[in-house]
Amino acid sequence: MNSEKVNMLLTSQTMKPFNVLMCGMAAFLAGVTDAVTFRDCGSTGARVTGVEISPCDSEPCALRRGVNYIARVAFKANANSDTTGFSAHGTVGSRPMAVPLPSNGVCVYLFPPCPIQAGGSYVYSYTGAVSLNFPLGVTTLRWELLDGTGAPFVCIEIPVRVV
């Protein structure tokens, strides 16, 4: 066999696994990155860089009652913060609805963990089910990460549809 054929054979044999790997990685990322449209609603200490809800295959996200979802909020801190809590709520029709969140603190869901340092990049990740009592319909979900004074260190609004 001449050297050109050997080089061509070697190149095609080493590129096949690479191509398969890249196609697989692209398919995986397409399935796990469910970025959603959001609006900053007055973050005082951070710049939100992305919001994901998984699974979410439409805008607004259709959230089924009783089903677990993963919500991730990525942000870059502009200031140090001792986070004290978080809240989430929405309004369906004219009825305000609080989203029940666990009371075990923000730091459990934050990576890297607390304390929040200026200049650091963080991801808040929470997995939970939509309450069976949450009314059906379209709402704007407001999520706030509160600083030591109770001000919204991070504040975002996300349109969702509860089904």
pLDDT tier at 131, thresholds 50, 70, 90: confident
Lowest mean pLDDT among 3-7, 14-18, 86-90, 122-126: 14-18
Q: Which residues are CB-contacts of 96 (< 8 A; sequence separation ≥ 6)?
A: 89, 90
* pTM (2 d.p.): 0.75
Q: Is the pLDDT of residue 128 over 50?
A: yes
Report d(CA 143, CA 88) in Å as an integer.
4
Q: Other C-beta atoms within 10 Å of 14: how many? A: 10
Confirm if 45 and 105 have CB atoms less than 8 A apart.
Answer: no
pLDDT of residue 4: 59
What confidence score (pLDDT) does residue 26 get?
34
In the chain, what percentage of residues exceed pLDDT 70? Answer: 79
